[in-house]
Amino acid sequence: MYLYIETLKQRLDAINQLRVDRALAAMKPAFQRVYGLLPTLLHHHHPLMPGYLNGNVPHGICLYTPDESQQHYLNDLEDKWGSPFAKPVSGELPITGVYSMGSTSSIGQSCSSDLDIWVCHQSWLDNERA
């Protein structure tokens, strides 16, 4: 039974990757870059990054590992900044998932489609920080 569940999870991951690949193929290069870097920006809230806000802003995605292009972006910023990024604190991080919703990778997606992104957070995150 365990092997069957693992096989189903692998199939689901493959289908999801196909959906992402199709979505990226329909996007312009700048849109692709934003889509690809969004998890990195939400995980490493830093003054050198677009979208940075002063204050106690929740950041850090549970189980996040940058892909090759995200790591390249981080390495470039570290070179510009002159030191490596601080690792987010260990333990439970406030963001539990980042999901692309709406027309992304569906038959309704076009080059003029927008991005509908859901950022899910821990229940303990208060209204002031969410």
What is the average per-residue pLDDT within 83-108? 76
The CA angle 82-88-90, to the nearest 5 degrees, is 140
What is the average per-residue pLDDT within 62-74? 92
What is the model's pLDDT at position 110?
64
- Answer yes or no: is 16 within a domain: yes
- Distances in whole angstroms, Cα of residue 59 to Cα of each of 26, 67, 73, 125, 126: 29, 18, 18, 11, 13
The secondary structure element, H or E, covering residue 99 is strand 95-101
What is the model's pLDDT at position 105?
60
CA dist., res. 86 & res. 48, Å (int): 13
- Answer yes or no: is 129 within a domain: no
> 69 and 39 in contact (C-beta within 8 Å)?
no
- Answer yes or no: is 126 within a domain: no
Residues pairing with 119 in the sheet: 98
For 99-121, b where at least 16 C-beta lie within 10 A, e where not — what string?
ebeebbbeeebeeebeeebebeb
What is the model's pLDDT at position 88?
66
- Answer yes or no: is 108 within a domain: yes
Boundaries of domain holding 37: 2-121
Whether 66 has a pLDDT exceeding 70, the answer reads: yes
Confidence of residue 81 (pLDDT cuts 50, 70, 90): confident
- How many domains in the chain? 1
Of 86 and 74, the one with more pLDDT: 74
